[in-house]
Every structure is written in structure tokens, then in C-alpha cells.
Structure 1
Amino acid sequence: MSHDKIQAKLVYMANQIATFFKSQPAEEAAPGVATHINKFWEPRMRRQLFEIIDQGGEGLSPLVLEAAPLIHRPSEAAKSA
């Protein structure tokens, strides 16, 4: 799968998570998105999500961007492991 298709799939998945958490109280929505991604996305997926965010977050829901500071950014050491 091409890099662009992988990124599009991650944007789609992150936005699906955000859509679910939009129905939660506002103060729980962003932490809920972050908790879900931290719990269920492997470091490689989170690293690719941060690539998208660092490039401006094109296509990502505002709620995903709000949750970004709460999502665990994988270290560079994990990248080479």
C-alpha cells in the first residue's frame, strides 16, 4: 500500500474515532480520542499520525487535532527498534 493510501486510511480511522467521541460531553471528547488511540494504535500508526499532524493535519477532524497533545508520540528509539 502506498504511503498516501496509508495516510488516508489513518485520517479516516482517526476521524471515525472522533465522530464517536463527539457524542460525549465536551470535556471528555478529546481525552477519549487520545485514550483510544494510545490504547489501540501501535507506535508505527501513531508515528504516522504525527507525520500528518506535523504537516498541518490536512483532513483530520478538529477533535483529533485537539486530542493530539494527549496522544503519546513514539520516540525515535522506537522507530529503529
Structure 2
Amino acid sequence: MTTDDKLVYMANQIARNFEALGHDHAVAATEDHMLSFWDPRMKARILALAVERADALGPVAAAALERLRAGVVPRPQTGATRFAAVDESGASDAG
């Protein structure tokens, strides 16, 4: 599996995880996840792949990438963790 294949797979996997939320919310949540957690190089490459290999993307992933390309910034969808400041204790389940 190439790096490009992995990126397409990951985009579709993230989208599938959010599909239970309904199409519009799943699109926003997928875009929010990519904005929050994907490296800029990953985002740049998946945006290129959205054109080159559009047929490999599911409808939710494709719509999320269209919004990402257009510069639409979704409201945070899954703000589950607020990380502690450098010297602050607690507030995160990350350890």
C-alpha cells in the first residue's frame, strides 16, 4: 500500500466513523478532524488526491475535502479533552 493509498484509506475511515451522525454533521466532523490532527503535508496531499483519485473517496470524505479546499472552518465537533497548561494539573485524561 502506497502512502497515497494510506491517506485515502484514512480519510475514508475517519468519515465512516462519523457517518452515524448523519451526512452534514459527519462531513463537518471529518473536516474538523483533519484540520485538528493532520499534518499540513498530509492535508496538502489528500487535497491533491481528492482531484486525482476522486473515485476512491466516499461521499462524506469527498465533501469534507471540498469544504477544506474552500476554507470552510467548522465549529469544533469533538472537543472532548481540554489539555492542561504547562504547570497546571489535571484536566486531561491523556496522563
* TM-score, normalised via structure 2 length: 0.65
For residue 46 of structure 2, what is the aligned residue in structure 1? 49
Q: 1:62 to 1:26 in 2, by over 3 A?
A: closer
Fraction of identical pairs, as percent: 30
For residue 68 of structure 1, what is the aligned residue in structure 2? 65
| Distance (whole Å) between structure 1 residues aligned to residue 49 and residue 69 of structure 2 | 15
| Distance (whole Å) between structure 1 residues aligned to residue 51 and residue 26 of structure 2 | 22
- Give the counterpart of 2:7 among 1, 10, 19: 10
User: 4+ runs of 1 displaced by more than 3 Å?
Assistant: none
> Which amino acid letter does the alignment assign opposite residue 19 of structure 1?
R
| Distance (whole Å) between structure 1 residues aligned to residue 53 and residue 23 of structure 2 | 23
Q: How many residues were matched structurally?
A: 70
SS in 2 for 1:71: helix
* Greater Rg by CA: 2
CA RMSD of aligned residues (A): 1.8
Deviations 1:26-77 (A, max 9, x none): 331100000001100011001110111122413111111111132258xxxx
| Distance (whole Å) between structure 2 residues aligned to residue 39 and residue 72 of structure 1 | 15
| Distance (whole Å) between structure 1 residues aligned to residue 67 and residue 32 of structure 2 | 8
1:28 aligns with 2:25: yes
Q: Which has the higher contact order (CA 8 A, sep 6+)?
A: 1
| Distance (whole Å) between structure 2 residues aligned to residue 23 and residue 31 of structure 1 | 13
SS in 2 for 1:58: helix
Mind listing any 5+ residue stretches in structure 1 that lack a counterpart? Answer: 74-81
